[in-house]
Structure 1
Amino acid sequence: AIPKDGPSAGVAMFTSLVSLLTGRTIINDVAMTGEISLRGLVLPIGGIKEKSIAALRAGIHIVLLPARNRKDLEDVPQSVKDDLKFVFCDRVEDVMREALGLEVVTQLKAAG
C-alpha cells in the first residue's frame, strides 16, 4: 500500500458535501471516519482507539466506523465503549443514512 495523508477524512468530507448539496443538517453528536473508494465502499483506517477516546472527550455519542474496523474495537478501553454507540458502515449510503437520514439516500438515488 502507498502511504497517504488524510484518507480517513474521506467519509466526513463526503458527508459534508452531501449535507451542503441537500440542505440536510448532520446530526450534532456524531463523529465519523473512513476512507471512501471510487465505488462508494467505506474502507478501514487506523487509529480507532485514539479517535474513539477523542470523540468521547469531545462530547460525541455516536461514532460511524468502517465495518472492516470492527475488530479494532478490541483495543478501545471498555469505559469508552460503554459511553459511545458504534455504527459500522460498509458503504457511503450507510453513512448517509446514519448521519443525514434515510430520505437523503432516497433523494440521491432518485436524482441520479
Structure 2
Amino acid sequence: GLKEKLLAALRGGIKTVLIPEENEKDLEDIPDNVKTGLRIVPVSDIDEVLEIALTGPLAPIEWSEADEAALHASLSGQGSGEAGDQPRTH
C-alpha cells in the first residue's frame, strides 16, 4: 500500500512523492518520521503531475513537412535486408 511505497521512496533518497488525491486520507496511517522526510503532494490529474515533475515549461515541437519526409525516408530503409545495410546502434 501507500505506507510501503512511501517507506521505499524515503529509503531510496526520493524527496518528493506524488500521490493520488484519493489516497490523501491514508496519510494518517503513515508514521510522522516518514511524512517529515518526504514532500508528499496529492494530485488530482495529469496536468498537476506534469507541472510538478517537469523542470521547465512545456514547449511545442516545431515540425515541418521536410522533417516528416526525412523521417519517412529513414524509416523506409530500416530492416530492409538490402546488401550493405549497416547494423543500427542506439
Give your verdict on TM over 0.5: yes
Q: Distance in 1 between matches of 2:26 and 2:16?
A: 16
User: How many residues align structurally?
Assistant: 60
Which is helix-richer, 1 or 2? 1
Map of 1:34-49 to 2, 5 A cutoff?
Answer: 47-49=1-3
After superposition, the C-alpha distances for 1:7-60 in whole angstroms (9 at most, x for unaligned) are xxxxxxxxxxxxxxxxxxxxxxxxxxxxxxxxxxxxxxxx11100000000001
Report the Cα distance in structure 2 between the residues aligned to 1:57 and 1:101, rounded to whole angstroms. 23
Match status 1:100 vs 2:57: no
Q: Say whether the 8 Å CA contact 1:96–1:102 is kept in structure 2.
A: no
Give structure 2 stretches of 5+ with no counterpart.
Answer: 61-90
Alignment-derived partner of residue 57 in structure 1: 11
Residue 70 (structure 1) aligned with residue 24 (structure 2): yes
Residue 33 of structure 2 is matched in structure 1 by 79
Q: CA deviation at 1:101?
A: 3.8
TM-score under structure 1 length normalisation? 0.50
Higher strand share: 1
Q: Which has the larger radius of gyration?
A: 2
> What's the CA shift string for 1:73-105, capped at 9, x where partnerless?
11111100011001111000100000004612x
Percent of aligned pairs with the same amino acid: 45
3-state secondary structure, aligned to 2:13:
coil
TM-score by length of 2: 0.62
Moved segments of 4+, more than 2 Å: none
Please list every run of 5 or more consecutive structure 1 residues that lacks an aligned counterpart in the other structure: 1-46
AA in 1 matched with 2:19:
L
